[in-house]
Amino acid sequence: MESENSATVFRQRIYRPYLDLGNAIPEAPFHVIGLDWAIDSFVNGRQYPAIQASGNESFRDELTAPPLGNYAVDDIADLDPSLRSARCEIFVDRMKAVVGIQHTEGAALCQALSKLCFHREVVSRVPDSMFDDFNGADGVIKAELAYLRASSLFALWQDDPNVGYELSLFEAIAENAPMCRAKVDATYQMVNQSAKIRGDLARCTVWQEKHRTVLEDYAHICEEPEHIRLRSRYHRVGGFLPQMVGDQAGVADEMGAAEDLARNCPSPGPNEEIARLEMLFPCLESRMQEAIWIGDLDLALMRIDEYIGMKELDPRGWMHRANIHLRRDDLASAASDFAAAAYLAPPSRSIALFMRGQCLAELGDPEGALNSFSAALDDDPLAISALEAIQDLATSLGKREMAIWAQCRLNDLVGTTGPQEGVQPSEAYKEFPRP
């Protein structure tokens, strides 16, 4: 692994739009491209295809932790002028000039703020009253703003369950909004969250049928490539229904349809091609998870290799592949992939480093493991498992002072848990939200 300084510089290059609102590099993860487009849409009024992925505040917090702490602001207008790009200066000036919110410019601003992970700012700008009435000439704008408020509250809730979020917010948009992209997306969220969060098959079934009819109606007002991409997403989320009843063939049918649509969707221009690939990307991830579910680890590895090949700078792929290697008992390959995930993170740098340390310990490299656990603790000072591992390794290596320090640190922390036994796939790591 390279030095922390070079790693920081590389991280700045990958995630620059989040930091100083500069332009994204073409190789950046799709969520970075989506942010880049959202910023440009607000600053220059250009229109782009929808990019689904966006981050939570915890992602931004991890990105702007030291040594990038100077970028840790709650409002982009508070960023030190010496750190701003030229585009950031224009963005801040235009943001300050926006009056009201219920218009195209206001929606573009809130979209950009949401992509920047400033979700509290979106919630403060878009009032609850936006859900009251979607009638009138401005119904589509109100639906877009309501969707952004609901999405931001959902993102905040994912980080903190005490945040006041209810799925009924998306339900109100899905049921009452005029036909528009926000209505389609809200209907999709009803299926997705009913499956992932509630595990409610009956509710999923009802909403997937509504999802189908809304998509049919939306076909009359959108371009064909967008509709095909949304049909791909429809089948991908539809895979939850057979999965919940253990129907492997049904899952394969839905996932196959989603993949075929994304692979064969026409792309009239370079931006449409990026949008097509961004829809294929989670298909490959879902198909990898499907292969794990049916116990075919060779197939899972093949699919995640294609996923990584599409976006080598996205740490999620390396984290997934490391977990597959663990299932295959290939600890050396897992350790290497966890190191790559940590280098490219956020998200989940501390967890990737901890899992790498576990692999190295099992491989008979206690010094390497100790270094990895220590780096995990540097990244997350509350990483109990890393502290426990440091104490155990320091004791076994005869590093008495380090072992004493680790024990004292553990005693200072409240609510400790027992040591993690063995090397297990790190499926609980905080993933970047995937729609």
Q: What is the CA radius of gyration of the chain?
A: 23
Residue 186 in any domain: the answer is no
Q: What is the pTM of this model?
A: 0.93
* Domain-located, residue 368: yes
For position 191, what pLDDT does the model report? 98
* Residue 279 resides in a domain: no
Cα angle 200, 201, 204 (rounded to 5 degrees) comes to 90
Could you give the angle at which helices 315-327 and 297-310 cross, rounded to 10 degrees? 160
- The CA distance from 70 to 7, in Å, is 17
- Number of domain units in the chain: 2
Q: pLDDT for 290-310, tens place per residue?
A: 999 999 999 999 999 999 999
Residue finishing a domain among 64, 97, 125: 125
Choose one of 93, 125, 157: the last residue of a domain: 125
> What is the tens place of the pLDDT at every residue in 148-191?
999 999 999 999 999 999 999 999 999 999 999 999 999 999 99
Under DSSP, is residue 418 helix (H, G, I), strand (E, B) or coil?
coil
Give the single-character DSSP code of 71.
G
List helix spans (H) across 64-138.
86-97, 104-115, 119-125
| For residue 1, pLDDT beyond 50 | no
Sign of CA dihedral 308, 6, 57, 359: positive
Which among 74, 104, 125 is the end of a domain? 125
* HSE value, Cβ hemisphere, 13 Å, CA-based, for 243: 24
Per-residue model confidence as pLDDT tens digits over 384-394:
999 999 999 99
Question: What would the DSSP string read from start to end of 291-349?
Answer: HHHTT-HHHHHHHHHHHHHH-TT-HHHHHHHHHHHHHTT-HHHHHHHHHHHHHHPSS-H
pLDDT in tens, 315-338: 999 999 999 999 999 999 999 999
Q: In this predicted structure, what is the pLDDT of residue 156? A: 98
What's phi and psi for 336, nearest 5 deg? Answer: -65, -45
pLDDT of residue 412: 87
Residue 413's pLDDT is 81
**Tens of pLDDT along 66-106?**
999 999 999 999 999 999 999 999 999 999 999 999 999 99
Whether residue 421 is predicted with pLDDT greater than 50 in this model: the reply is: no
User: And the tokens for 243?
Assistant: 């999965």
**Residue 371 belongs to a domain:** yes
CA separation, residue 32 to residues 26, 139, 346 (Å) = 9, 29, 12
- Residue listed under structure tokens 């005693």: 411
In a domain, 249, yes or no: no
- Residue 263 is assigned to a structural domain of this protein: no
Q: The domain containing residue 387 runs over which residues?
A: 314-435
| Residue with the two structure tokens 């620059």 | 16
Half-sphere exposure of 130 (CA within 13 A, CB side): 27
Interacting residues of 149 by C-beta distance below 8 A, sequence separation 6+: 122, 123, 126, 128, 130, 131, 169
With a CB cutoff of 8 Å and minimum separation 6, the contacts of 378 are none
What is the band of 430 on the pLDDT scale with cuts at 50, 70, 90? Answer: very low
Residue 131 domain-assigned (yes or no): no
Instruction: Say if 198 falls within a structural domain.
Output: no
Report CA 372 to chain centroid distance, whole Å.
Answer: 24
CATH number of the domain bearing residue 364: 1.25.40.10
Close Cβ partners of 197 (under 8 Å, ≥ 6 residues apart): 167
List, for residues 113-125, the tens digit of each pLDDT value.
999 999 999 999 9
Provide φ and ψ at 116, rounded to 5°.
-75, -5
- Token pair belonging to 53: 């992925």
Burial string for 330-359 (b: 16+ CB within 10 Å, else e) reads bbebbbbbbbbbbbbbbbbbbbbbbbbbbb
